[in-house]
Structure 1
Amino acid sequence: MESAARTTTTTTHIALVSIPAFSHQVSILEFAKRLLNLHNNTFNITCIIPTLNSSYNNIATKPFFDSLPPNIHCIFLPSVYFEDLNNNGVSVEIQIQLSVSRAMPSVRETLRSLFDATNNVVAIVADAMVPEALDFGKELGILSYIYFPCSTMLLSLCLHSSNLDEQVSCEYRDHPNLIEIPGCISIYGRDLPNSVQNRSSLEYKLFLQRCQRYRSAHDGILVNSFMELEEEATKAITQHAKGNGNCSYPPVYPIGPITHTGPSDPKSGCECLLWLDKQPPNSVLYVSFGSGGTLCQEQINELALGLELSRHKFLWVNLRAPNDRASATYFSDGGLVDDPLHFLPLGFIERTKGQGLVMCGWAPQVEVLGHKSIGAFLTHCGWNSVLESVVHGVPMMAWPLFAEQRTNAALVTDGLKVAVRPNVDTSGNSVVVKEEIVKLIKSLMEGLVGEEIRRRMKELQKFAECAVMKDGSSTRTICKLAHKWKSLGRP
């Protein structure tokens, strides 16, 4: 374990606790960077990160951590025992939850060491997957917050989960009516997160326990969204926070959009950026299923043929070997292969030469979405990707795979109306055929539907820009927190 002590001229120390998932690490550390930028580096921040394996020293992660400002220090804990969880029978959510729980003694020891070494830690901010860390804040007598890297809609669902559990007797996916979420659009039960789809499972029990801990986060929950994006959901939680007794919710602080601003590896993505430079404005469909998403072989074939038959230009990145498990590579950089011809339709690369580019490796998503040639984004609807799409004003084709991605897809499609979504059966697991893919691409890139979606997305982009301006809603919220924390620091 790295030493928690460090020499610094700053006066106020904040401790962060993340999880072994790069997307979560990026989100909470980008928040830390924004906090420092707004307050002239008057904070010292330590992020404690449990680890599972050595995959976090790969090409995608190392440049990000190497670029962190000197006031942010990361402590990577020794890997926990993980082999019994890393198999096809255990979901991503359970793997994260149980593995992080096993790391809690090390987290507690590190926090105590940090507190003793600096004598000036005033607050702990813990990722939403590790609410247990709030107990350590109470032990140390410091403020304790949850960092919620997902939507306010999902947070509202989490805070409402115990009520929902009592109201609905069947499996949510079998519920005949729409599920009501305070302050949000109503959605079908099949669009609730994977963790609630089997109510007799350990996964669901852990979800309910985690959500109950959120209610005890009395100092507040920092959510990576912004008022103008999810105003009604924020108001619903805030109104409930004013209640009395055990039924009240904690204060909620919308501090987003927090998105990836770190540099990309100079050797990663050069090919795709050079290719994009040669394409007409707004002409390319960007296709990415995130850092861990995988498709089955049949779906890869249908998607490839749909892209080809649409005759629209496309950039398909992070292509992985087929797998029937959507989250097969969530914890690693495995699954990437050197030659896409091994599992793409025969002749696809040759036939689409000039029309598209397929990459098996990482791509600099922020730079790609900000490129003038990008016209739309086929996305798995991870919240980081959704926010990046909003920040750059890029319309979406929502293609959720696992975790809370279907809930996000419902939000951007039916709530914000800035995305189209393939039709699937009630199980949500059917293969989307090439004809449906062609229809959606054309509607998004050519038709009146696409024009209206693009108009709405440009409006959201402006709201996102305003939220992070000097007097923007999210900037004011972060400053409010910062002033409170600095008032507790020692000179």
Structure 2
Amino acid sequence: MSTTKSKTNLHIVAYPFPSAGHIIPLLDLTHLLLTRGLNVTVLVTPSNVHLLEPYLSTHPSSLKHLVLPALVPDIKPSPPHKRFLAIVRALRDLHYPFLLQWFQSHPSPPVAIISDFLLGWTHHLACELKVPRLCFSPSGAFGMSVAFSTCRDPPKNNDPGEDINFLISFPNVPNSPTYPWWQIENFPDLEADPDWEFHRNSMLANLESWGIVFNSFASLESVYFDHLKREVGHNRVWAVGPVLPLEGDLIGSATRGGASSLPCHKLMTWLDARPDNSVVYVCFGSRAVLTSKQLKVLATALECSGVHFILCARVPDDQGLILNGFKDRVGDRGLVIKGWAPQVAILKHRAVGSFLTHCGWNSVLEGLISGVVMLTWPMSTEQFTNALLLVDQLDMAIRAGEGTENIPDSNELARLLVVSLDKSKPQNVRAKELSDAALSAAKGGSSDKDLDELIKQLADIKKLE
């Protein structure tokens, strides 16, 4: 992307949702804005300040940060989706008055707020402050289209406890996607719950915001960007991705997001000793914890397939013995990483030929840029939508599994692991085409131009003050 430094005197606030998978892409976007001469203050919670370090050292004068009050962990235990909703609402209650006071007392307050889509309430803060609010989506336009439709018209199932495969369709979304009930993010039991209502209103507030910025690129999801522009009633919907650094040191790619149990140089040495396109990288993200059944199927498939592999997965403490014996049996053919993995560095290595992924959007883009074939095994929420996009609409991935409901047979998964490394497969051709398209968009193409247009429109607002 362009790195032309021309001082704009624009000062904006960037407010990521306090989770690594949301913070890092917004920091990457912040990096791009800083290289174009903006001044940015990042809002960050105490436990996530360390994620800012490589960016602060790269932009010591134009990047500032404000440490927000920490959320006291007194949310009562509950099912995961209820707990998540309660946390999001508690963040609003804690941070809204703090930020209002900070803005109003600042000698040179920011002229705009860009905040994560899970922080839709910041639209109301921006309205009170009389500044534009940009919604940032670290997810794709397809996933957001489904999420917005779900919130506007929550799907119904008269017997969700029994009929989990009841089909839900979205005829108003392009390509009319259809999902079994268990794959849809919905909270039908919470319609009268204030936390659910707050979440729904926050999501809909994103549609009312001044603009929406996506970590995606136009040619990947063009039909969904056109759809969202119709939904919001204007053209201030920008596709500026992939925002992750594409060259150089990748803003500390070896330690991006955390520390690995296996040092990056040891990983690279192991990969250097492998032939081109011979390694399957397996990772289910930083949040998904594999069940005992999932882990046993995966370990058996990796063992029986005979492929070289790197496995990075969170497992329950009581399942450690499965991997201990597993590591002894596969020997030097595979590596097991506990904790965070230097995923970008791994995927860009010439020895890695395919990627078994949970289909989180960050992983999708990192795999796409690397040009590797993806095996999809989504675990929750918009990951199912991302898998549908990769397999059925882009023809660049192979479906392997779906959550805990569709766990593949270990023999079939072993076969797919081998197939994924076959460079003659059509998915390999499509993966390379889309990799080229992503790089072209980010290097002087549509994403570069969208980011320049976004900054121009913000500067025009500043001139009118």
Q: What is the TM-score with the length of structure 2 in the denominator?
A: 0.85
Counterparts of 1:421 and 1:110, CA distance in 2: 44
Match of 1:290 among 285, 289, 312: 285
Amino acid at match of 1:463: A
Instruction: Pick closer, same or farther for the CA change 1:439–1:93 going to 2, 3 Å.
Output: farther
Contact 1:272 1:315 in 2 (8 A): no
Aligned counterpart, 1:437 = 413
Match of 2:124 among 135, 139, 159: 135
Q: In the alignment, is residue 272 of structure 1 matched against residue 267 of structure 2? A: yes
Counterparts of 1:185 and 1:458, CA distance in 2: 27
Measured against aligned partners, the alpha-carbon deviations of 1:405-429 in whole angstroms (never above 9, x if no partner) come to 12212221212222112255xx853
Aligned counterpart, 1:328 = none
Contact 1:46 1:72 in 2 (8 A): yes
Counterparts of 1:379 and 1:25, CA distance in 2: 20
Residue aligned with 1:292, SS: coil
Amino acid at match of 1:128: F
Amino acid at match of 1:212: L
Q: In the alignment, is residue 375 of structure 1 matched against residue 360 of structure 2? A: no
Q: CA deviation at 1:307?
A: 0.4
Aligned counterpart, 1:14 = 12
Instruction: Pick closer, same or farther for the CA change 1:457–1:381 going to 2, 3 Å.
Output: same
Amino acid at match of 1:69: H
Counterparts of 1:409 and 1:380, CA distance in 2: 8
Aligned counterpart, 1:25 = 23
Match of 2:330 among 334, 352, 355: 352
Percent identity, aligned pairs only, is 25
Q: CA deviation at 1:227?
A: 0.7
Contact 2:277 2:354 in 1 (8 A): yes
Q: In the alignment, is residue 467 of structure 1 matched against residue 441 of structure 2? A: yes
Q: In the alignment, is residue 414 of structure 1 matched against residue 392 of structure 2? A: yes
Counterparts of 1:140 and 1:28, CA distance in 2: 22
Q: In the alignment, is residue 183 of structure 1 matched against residue 174 of structure 2? A: yes
Amino acid at match of 1:299: Q
Counterparts of 1:320 and 1:162, CA distance in 2: 31
Contact 1:67 1:262 in 2 (8 A): no
Match of 1:69 among 42, 50, 59: 59
Amino acid at match of 1:479: D
Count of aligned pairs = 444
Q: CA deviation at 1:313?
A: 0.7
Bigger proportion of residues as helix: 2
Match of 2:429 among 455, 463, 484: 455
Q: CA deviation at 1:112?
A: 4.0
Match of 1:97 among 79, 84, 88: 88
Residue aligned with 2:280, SS: strand
Counterparts of 2:345 and 2:405, CA distance in 1: 32
Aligned counterpart, 1:316 = 311
Counterparts of 1:111 and 1:274, CA distance in 2: 50
Contact 2:391 2:398 in 1 (8 A): yes
Aligned counterpart, 1:237 = 228
1:78-93 correspondence runs (5 A): 78-85=69-76, 91=82, 93=84
Measured against aligned partners, the alpha-carbon deviations of 1:38-62 in whole angstroms (never above 9, x if no partner) come to x2xx2110111245xx4x367xx47
Instruction: Pick closer, same or farther for the CA change 1:177–1:21 going to 2, 3 Å.
Output: closer
Q: CA deviation at 1:199?
A: 6.5
Contact 1:312 1:355 in 2 (8 A): yes
Q: CA deviation at 1:298?
A: 2.5
Contact 1:197 1:204 in 2 (8 A): no
Residue aligned with 1:354, SS: helix
**RMSD of aligned Cα (Å):** 3.0
Measured against aligned partners, the alpha-carbon deviations of 1:224-279 in whole angstroms (never above 9, x if no partner) come to 1111000111112223444xxxxxx7731111112263203398422212111111
Amino acid at match of 1:44: N
Q: In the alignment, is residue 395 of structure 1 matched against residue 386 of structure 2? A: no
Counterparts of 1:435 and 1:204, CA distance in 2: 42
Range moving further from structure 2, 187-196 or 285-294 = 187-196
The answer for unaligned runs of 5 or more in structure 1 is 1-8, 243-248, 323-334
Counterparts of 1:433 and 1:166, CA distance in 2: 31
The answer for unaligned runs of 5 or more in structure 2 is 1-6
Aligned counterpart, 2:450 = 477
Q: CA deviation at 1:162?
A: 5.0
Range moving further from structure 2, 83-92 or 129-138 = 83-92
Residue aligned with 1:445, SS: coil
Amino acid at match of 1:343: L
Instruction: Pick closer, same or farther for the CA change 1:119–1:66 going to 2, 3 Å.
Output: closer
Q: CA deviation at 1:473?
A: 0.9
Amino acid at match of 2:321: F
Contact 1:17 1:133 in 2 (8 A): no
Counterparts of 1:303 and 1:167, CA distance in 2: 34
Amino acid at match of 1:256: G
Residue aligned with 1:165, SS: coil
Counterparts of 1:275 and 1:91, CA distance in 2: 43
Instruction: Pick closer, same or farther for the CA change 1:385–1:354 going to 2, 3 Å.
Output: same
Counterparts of 1:292 and 1:270, CA distance in 2: 25
Contact 1:16 1:47 in 2 (8 A): yes
Counterparts of 1:206 and 1:346, CA distance in 2: 45
Instruction: Pick closer, same or farther for the CA change 1:132–1:142 going to 2, 3 Å.
Output: same
Instruction: Pick closer, same or farther for the CA change 1:174–1:301 going to 2, 3 Å.
Output: closer
Q: CA deviation at 1:403?
A: 3.2
Contact 1:185 1:411 in 2 (8 A): no
Counterparts of 2:382 and 2:54, CA distance in 1: 25
Contact 1:380 1:398 in 2 (8 A): yes
Contact 1:216 1:250 in 2 (8 A): no
Q: CA deviation at 1:99?
A: 3.5
Residue aligned with 2:244, SS: coil
Instruction: Pick closer, same or farther for the CA change 1:142–1:178 going to 2, 3 Å.
Output: closer
Measured against aligned partners, the alpha-carbon deviations of 1:367-388 in whole angstroms (never above 9, x if no partner) come to 1110000000111111111011
